[in-house]
Amino acid sequence: MKIGDENIERVVYESTLNLLIRYGIKGWNMDDLARECGMSKRTLYKIIGNKEDLLYKCYEDNFNKKLGGVKKFIEQDEDYYTLLDGLSTQIVNSVNQIVLVTSENVRTEYPRISQLVEERLSIHHKVLVAFFEKGIQLGLLRDNADATIIKDMLYALMNFNVIKYRDVSEFRRTTKRQLDFFFSSIRK
């Protein structure tokens, strides 16, 4: 096996995601990952470094892909209400099983990954605030609407549900209903 081979790295990455979904962060170790990938632990360490680096990459890729999709959606040249109506679907789809299963442990066990999450969410929040400010400026949201308060309430709801739910379909179903209600209540 060649170190730096993209196919091998992809196998390790996908195997890591599978282990995260099945066992969370603490339920597996590098021996389990090496066995899952069909390689020695020594080779595995040459490829990825350590578990925290691998988890960091998994989270970074996940956030770039998922949150980037929300940003791309709300930056479309569409009717504002159409975007607002579709935003709840985009937001709930940006959270996957890995986030639900690992969120609590990441906050306590991996401060570097937790910092990455907070940095990515901060960027994401700025995009959402700009979107809500646009709605306010266009006169499409309630007169007393405040973009930062809307973002804060959205963040609080999402944070609560990420901690509460472990099943992605239950999370998406419940959170989508809540977000649909919330977004309809801020419309004019």
101-129 confidence digits (pLDDT tens) = 888 888 889 999 999 989 988 999 999 99
Q: What percent of the chain has pLDDT over 90?
A: 63
Structure tokens at 103: 């969120």
59-186, what's its fold? Tetracycline Repressor; domain 2 (1.10.357)
Give the separation between CA 41 and CA 128, rounded to whole angstroms.
43
Q: What is the pLDDT of residues 19-58, one digit of tens each?
A: 998 998 889 999 999 999 999 999 898 888 889 999 998 8
The answer, yes or no, to whether residue 4 has pLDDT greater than 70, is no
Give the separation between CA 81 and CA 87, rounded to whole angstroms.
10
Give 95: exposed, middle or buried? Use CB within 10 Å, 0-12, 13-18, 19+: buried
pLDDT at position 184, please? 97
> Nearest Cα to 68, choosing from 101, 93, 85?
93
Do 59-186 and 1-49 have the same topology in CATH? no
The answer, yes or no, to whether residue 1 has pLDDT greater than 50, is no
1-49, what's its fold? Arc Repressor Mutant, subunit A (1.10.10)
Q: What is the DSSP string of 52-72?
A: HHHHHHHHHHHHHHHHHHHHH
Q: What is the pTM of this model?
A: 0.84
Domain locations along the chain: 1-49, 59-186
